[in-house]
Each structure stands twice: as C-alpha cells, then as structure tokens.
Structure 1
Amino acid sequence: MNMNTMDMGGMSMDMASSTTSAIMNTATTSSTMDMMNMMSSGIMTSMSSMSTGMSGMDGMSGSNSSTVSSSSMNMKMSCTMSMLWNWYTDDVCFISKQWKTSTKAKFGGTCVGVFALLLIINWWRRILVQYKIHCTEVRKIEVNDIIKAGIIIDKKKSTFDNFDLNKNTDMITECMIPLMEAFKHEWFWVLNRNLSIEIDDKVYIYPSIWEHTLYCIGDTIEWSVHHVIMLLFMYFNGFVFISCMIGAGVGYLLFQYKNINISKRGDNVSKRCCL
C-alpha cells in the first residue's frame, strides 16, 4: 500500500515537472516569437524611415534642381525695362518677349530696323498722297468729258441759301441748325453715277468706291505703323529715340518734297520768298 502510494506520488511529481517544463518551453517559445516580432517590426520601421529619408532627400534634390532650372529660365526670360529715360542695350525687350536684344548685334539691328521703319512710313505716306492726286486727275478728265457731252450733273444748293444770317436769331438756333444739317448725313450718300456734284458754279469730284477703299487700306497701314512707333517711344530708350528721329528726318527729306502752291501764268509771284 505504501509502495503504491509512493509510486503514485512519484508519478504525480513527474507529471508536474513535465507540465512545468512544457509551460516553460511554451513561455520560452512565445517570448522568443515576441522578440522576433519586435525585431522584425523594428527592422521594418527602420527600413521605412530610411526609405522616407531617402525619398525626402530625393525630393529636396529634385526641388533644388527645379529651383535652379526655374531661376535660369527666369534669367533667360527677364527683360530690362524702365519707364524713365535710359540708355539700356542688354536684354531690352520691345513690344514682346520675342523681340529681345540679348546681344549688342541684336540691339544694333533694332536701331537700324527702327530707322528703316520711319523711312518706309514716310515713303508710304507720299505714295498715298500721289495716289489721291492721280485719282483726282482721272476724275477731272471724266467730269470734263461729261460736261462737254451735255450730261446733267447732280446739283446741290448751299445749305444756308434759305437761312437769313442778317435776321436776328437766338444763339441756340444758330448752333442747332448746322448740327441738324450735319446729322442729315448728306455727305455720306454723296456718291452718284458721275462721281461729282455741282454746287453753285463749282463741281466737286469724288473718288470711286474702290479707289476710296484702297486708300482706306493704305491709311490703315500707315495708322498701324505710327502706333507701333509710338509703342517703341514708350520704352524711353535713348538709342531708339535717336534712330526714330534720324529716320523721320531722312524720310521727310527724301519723300516729302512737293510743290508749295499752284500759281497761274500772270499772277504776281515774287522771285524771292521767305517762309
């Protein structure tokens, strides 16, 4: 009985020790797993932080490179401008960014181009004047032929034939009558088949609609070039101003020489005259 009891006690002790060792082994395994998990998480965290740092460094390097490139682009696109009188020659922009004098040669070419522009506009102005003169000569020949043929020319009475200037009228009436006559737009509908109108003993000659249209196109070109010249003046550059001044003077000297007045034979015309 005692032996059995001792055997049972030994067996219980063996079971307890085996259970304890199993529990210790399980605890050791779990602690090892926890440590491994902690180490792996730490490694992953450090790797992620390293990748974040690398990406941050890449971002900084990229931003620095973009900043450098943008600054270089700004330096290339920058224009030297002033609203006061100046003598700038480097990186001066005129009218647009494409017209930029990045070199001395380009600035010199700009001055020569401005000179030529003033020369050409004086020539073009004289062409328009001569065109109108030749149109007038052609119309005169046509009107003379019409008069010789006995064809009736449209007649128009003077605006103030029925208006007594000696009669006492108030100031408002004197101002309003010419204004109302102007708003009748008779001058706008003056074109007729003969391109001429007889008023009293005078015949007024008008160009044809195509001649007037062509002259209008030429005048628009002249007007546009004059405004381009005005924009160039607004840069207050001394060299450009001098180029414009010389071009205008030479152009007027070459292309604006014309008669002062028309005198008929027998008129008292002095040989010497002071203007």
Structure 2
Amino acid sequence: MYALNPPSPRCKANRTGFLAKSWHITSRGMFAGSCIGVICLVLCLEFLRRAGREYDSLIVRKARLRQASSEPLLADSTCDNACPAENNIINPIDTRKQATSAPANASAPCLTPYRPSLIEHTIRSLLHMVQFAVAYFIMLLAMYYNGYIIICIFIGAFLGAFIFAWEPIDLTKG
C-alpha cells in the first residue's frame, strides 16, 4: 500500500489509513514511526503474555504458602480424595509417568486444587482481555497486506520473545 516514495499530500486516494481514518501516512518519517509503533505494539503483546504467566505463578505460590501454613490443621484429616499422589493414583492420560512413578512419600504435603479468588480471576481476565485486544489490532494491521508492516510484526515478535520469553526450562518435563 505504501510505495518507497510517499504519496503526494494532494492525492488523498493513495494515503494509507491504518486502523483509523485519521491515521494517514504522508511522509517517510510517518511511515518509519508507524513501523516502530507496530514493533512496540507486538512487544506489548509479548509483555502481556509474560505478565499473565507471572501472575498465574504468583497465584500458585500464594496458594501453596496458604496450604503449607494450614498443613498442621490438615494433618488430622485425611486427604484420600484430594491427594491422588498419596493413594498412588496416576493420571491415565499421562502414560509416561506410569513407568517411572515411585510410591508417594507419606510425608509429602497434600495439595488440594485451588480456585483463584474473585479478585485474582478478575485480574487474570483483564490481562487476557487486553492481550486479546492487542493481538486483534496486530491481526488487523497484518490484514493491510503491507509487507513492511508484516515484517515489523515479525521483528516485534522476535524481540518480544527474546526479551519476555527468556525463562528457565523445566528439565523434568518432556
């Protein structure tokens, strides 16, 4: 949609309006700014994905701490239904663990499933909604079929993964 030479300001038919009627690229500087903006938008998407993962792990850590602090109270009660590991019950879908699983240790903590609170779930849902909206805008930008914008989306995805997806890898999985 945008040639190497910017369109003349007098020729409105050749102007590109991304996502809004007011977003018209009339110069190379505006096009370069748009490309940088697209890269930053994709970086924001990768940041939101990382923020969602980090918030979920925060919820899990808090739930484990709560359950660990209430463990002395649960020591008198039985965890037969809540803790399948203590009964040596293995998930039938995961057949890899069946061959390598050892009998559960009787002193292992009984971790019951945890449902996030209303506030925690609301924050998770808001993060998902913003992530979904940003991803949708990126998809709309890609639907302009402008090669430069698509390349900027790819560059933003690479930089975003490089910056925000550098996490430890669990060697016990896989």
TM-score, reference length from structure 2: 0.70
Structure 1 equivalent of residue 148 of structure 2 = 239
**How many Å apart are 1:92 and its aligned residue?**
1.3
Question: Quick one: percent identity of the two aligned structures?
Answer: 25
Q: Which residue of structure 1 lines up, in the alignment, with residue 45 of structure 2? A: 121
Which protein has greater RCO, CA pairs closer than 8 Å, 6+ apart? 2
Distance (Å, rounded) in 1 between the aligned partners of 2:167 and 2:20: 38
Query: Mind listing any 5+ residue stretches in structure 1 that lack a counterpart?
Result: 1-74, 81-90, 159-200, 264-274
Whole-Å separation in 1 of the counterparts to 2:70 and 2:113: 13
Cα distance, 1:217–1:205 mapped onto 2, change above 3 Å: same
Cα 1:94–1:79, aligned 2, differ >3 Å: closer, same or farther? Answer: farther
- The amino acid that maps onto 2:12 is S
Alignment of 1:101-120 (within 5 A): 101-120=25-44
Give the C-alpha shift of residue 135 in structure 1. Answer: 1.2
Asked if structure 1 preserves the Cα contact closer than 8 Å seen for 2:82 and 2:111, the reply is: no
| Preserved CA contact (<8 Å) 2:38 2:152 | yes
Q: Deviations over 1:224-273 (max 9, x none)?
A: 0000000000000011011111111011011101122154xxxxxxxxxx
CA distance in 1, matches of 2:166, 2:133: 24
Match of 1:203 among 112, 129, 132: 112
Query: 2:13, 2:117 → 1: CA distance?
Result: 49
Name which of 16, 19, 28 aligns with 1:92. Answer: 16
Change beyond 3 A, Cα 1:148–1:241: same
Q: How far did 1:202 drift?
A: 5.5
Q: 5+ residue gaps in structure 2? A: 1-8, 85-109
CA offsets, 1:148-205, max 9 Å, x none? 22386995799xxxxxxxxxxxxxxxxxxxxxxxxxxxxxxxxxxxxxxxxxx76212
Structure of greater Rg: 1
SS in 2 for 1:205: coil
Letter in 2 for 1:141: L
Name the CA distance, whole Å, in 2 between partners of 1:106 and 1:78: 16
Q: CA RMSD in A?
A: 2.8
Separation of aligned partners in 1, 2:70 and 2:153 = 48
Q: What is the rounded CA distance, in whole Å, between the counterparts of 1:202 and 1:142 in structure 2?
A: 10
Shift of 1:102: 1.4
* 1:100-120 C-alpha deviation (Å, 9 max, x unpaired): 101111111100100111112
Q: 2:160 is matched by which residue type in structure 1?
A: G
SS in 2 for 1:259: coil
Output aligned runs, 1:5-16, within 5 Å: none
Letter of the 2:69 partner, please give it: D
State whether structure 2 residue 20 is matched by structure 1 residue 78: no
Q: 1:96 to 1:79 in 2, by over 3 A?
A: farther
Matched positions, count: 138
